[in-house]
Amino acid sequence: EDQVTQSPEALRLQEGESSSLNCSYTVSGLRGLFWYRQDPGKGPEFLFTLYSAGEEKEKERLKATLTKKESFLHITAPKPEDSATYLCAGQGGSEKLVFGKGTKLTVNP
């Protein structure tokens, strides 16, 4: 059975304190690894898609990387507005995505 596991469940950082979120996956025939950001009470907002091991993508203070077993979302010098829940999802042999339970990030000023 395909599975996506995110760690940690929650992370508190001080403003400017860089860190990484982890997404481990066992998805048969991975065709894409997706990262989303979700603010409280809202729908997830698409951030990145990674298709193959070694691929990296960046957007402002966020950088996503992919290996054959896991993906990382690196946050450089975070700001309070980066506080959100970050979701990771894998796509295997169908149109469906398998989601992790998310990492809740809090950045204190």
Partner 1 sequence: DVKVTQSSRYLVKRTGEKVFLECVQDMDHENMFWYRQDPGLGLRLIYFSYDVKMKEKGDIPEGYSVSREKKERFSLILESASTNQTSMYLCASSTTSGSAYNEQFFGPGTRLTVL
CB of 45 to partner 1, least distance (A): 7
The rounded distance, in Å, linking the Cα atoms of 71 and 52 is 11
Q: Which is nearer to partner 1, 60 or 95 (CB)?
A: 95
How would you label 26-41 residue by residue, b for 16+ Cβ within 10 Å and e otherwise? ebeebebbbbbbeeee
CB of 76 to partner 1, least distance (A): 23
Interacting residue ranges for partner 1, rule: CB under 8 A: 31-32, 34, 36, 41-46, 49, 87, 91, 95-97, 99-102
Q: Which is nearer to partner 1, 72 or 92 (CB)?
A: 92
Q: Which is nearer to partner 1, 63 or 76 (CB)?
A: 63
Q: Which is nearer to partner 1, 79 or 96 (CB)?
A: 96
CB of 54 to partner 1, least distance (A): 18
CB of 61 to partner 1, least distance (A): 20
CA geometry: angle at 67 spanning 105 and 95, to 5°? 80
φ, ψ dihedrals at 99, nearest 5°:
-95, 145
Could you tell me the CA-to-CA distances from 70 to 9, 42, 78, 100 in Å, in that order?
16, 26, 22, 12
